[in-house]
Amino acid sequence: MQLSRRQFIGLVGALGLGGCAQTRQRIGLGSAKRLTFAAINDVHVLDARSAAIVHRAVQSINANADVAFTVILGDIATAGRLPELKLALASFNRLERPWLAVPGNHDVCTAATNIYSNYLITFERMNWMEEEKGWVFIGIDSCEGAKSDVTVRDWQIDWLADSLERIRRDRPIALFAHHPFNPHSKAYRVQNADEVIGLFAHHNLRLVAAGHYHGNQVEQQDGVLYTTTACCSTTRDNFDNTAAKGYRLFHIEGEGVTTEFVEVPS
């Protein structure tokens, strides 16, 4: 990823999909005791008109000086077409602070030989691991083609297991994916969610944030905060019959995480 667009600036030795180390300039993010970041999902960009709500969300995030970075939790496009992804990219490139993305099932192009080709042209990585203020932030590709109900594939589980071997067991971890891991998600819970979460049994997992289910679901189990968030789209509705569209803020203090939903006018 290019430093000026969407890497965590000041995070050293982070791993991308290929595991190549990258050197980053170090700057301070947030206050000494608090770290705030944003997460946005399911923007489902189709055309220039549908990108308008994404622009408004970006403006809202930029206006909040506490937000250190943003994570985009998939379904960036409508059908994985390159023009859709490029329109979304233009919106997210307006973010004034670093950002990262994971793919959603609407970001794959089933008509292409490599269904990820358009996504990789624009967003470059499907998996990543970054760190800041003692926390480790991990993004994974949870997709199984264009399916809505998915099983995280074996090679993804292997990548995650290998990555966890490099992390000190007491370090707090946040996991990001498109598909929900919430224990009581109303729909679309990852079918092998327990297996994936089980990889963290001897680690300090504190947060799992996802999209895909267009609705605000927040629950805590075994010390882990699980969330999904309403979509931020004018081409899709929320699955829980609520009208509000927007994004989510997470506030980290020590090993604790709190969260709030921020509405964006649609």
Distance of CA 21 to the CA centre of its chain: 21
Whether 77 maps to a domain, the answer reads yes
The whole-number pLDDT of residue 23 equals 24
Q: Which among 85, 140, 139, 142 has a CA at the least distance from the CA of 109?
A: 85
Whether 142 contacts 178, CB under 8 Å: yes
The whole-number pLDDT of residue 19 equals 29
The whole-number pLDDT of residue 32 equals 52
Domain count along the chain: 1
pLDDT tens digit at each of 266 positions of the chain = 223 333 333 332 333 333 222 222 222 344 457 999 999 999 999 999 999 999 999 999 999 999 999 999 999 999 999 999 999 999 999 999 999 999 999 999 998 999 999 999 999 999 999 999 899 999 999 999 999 999 999 999 999 999 999 999 999 999 999 999 999 999 999 999 999 999 999 999 999 999 999 999 999 999 999 999 999 999 999 999 999 999 999 999 999 999 999 999 98
Whether 11 maps to a domain, the answer reads no
Alpha-carbon distance of 247 to 229, in angstroms, equals: 7
Whether 233 maps to a domain, the answer reads yes
Whether 50 maps to a domain, the answer reads yes
Whether 3 maps to a domain, the answer reads no
Q: Which among 260, 258, 245 has a CA at the least distance from the CA of 214?
A: 245
Distance of CA 40 to the CA centre of its chain: 7
Alpha-carbon distance of 156 to 152, in angstroms, equals: 7
DSSP state of 16: -
Whether 2 maps to a domain, the answer reads no
Q: What is the pTM of this model?
A: 0.89
What CATH number does the domain containing 142 carry? 3.60.21.10
Question: Which residue range forms the structural domain that includes residue 249?
Answer: 34-263
Whether 135 maps to a domain, the answer reads yes
The whole-number pLDDT of residue 157 equals 97
Distance of CA 252 to the CA centre of its chain: 16
Alpha-carbon distance of 257 to 266, in angstroms, equals: 28
Distance of CA 63 to the CA centre of its chain: 20
